[in-house]
Amino acid sequence: MISYKPFQKLLIDRELKKNQIMEMAGISGATMAKLNTTEYVSLEIVDRLCKALDCQPGDLLVYVPGEGDENNHAKTV
């Protein structure tokens, strides 16, 4: 599963409120809610956040092996 805890920590460290980053990155409240859980967000959203925060994707998310993996395997063609 993907955890967005690094993103949450980054916001705290930079003293940014959720509504500020939503405006800076042009993301919706629904997307922000996903970033507070382990729900999927697109790479486009990660790109917007990286641009707004001047950071790398690894500063926003981390892969956590374990629970939930059996439902999230990529299908190969």
pLDDT in tens, 18-59: 999 999 999 999 999 999 988 999 999 999 999 999 999 999
- Domain positions in the chain are 2-69
pLDDT band with cut points at 50, 70 and 90 for residue 63: very high
Structure tokens at 36: 């507070």
> 70 versus 72: which is more confidently predicted?
70
- With CA atoms as reference, report the closest residue to 63 among 53, 74, 52: 74
Gyration radius of the chain's alpha carbons: 13
pLDDT at position 73 over 60: no
pLDDT at position 77 is 43
For domain 2-69, the CATH architecture is: Orthogonal Bundle (1.10)
pTM given for the model: 0.81
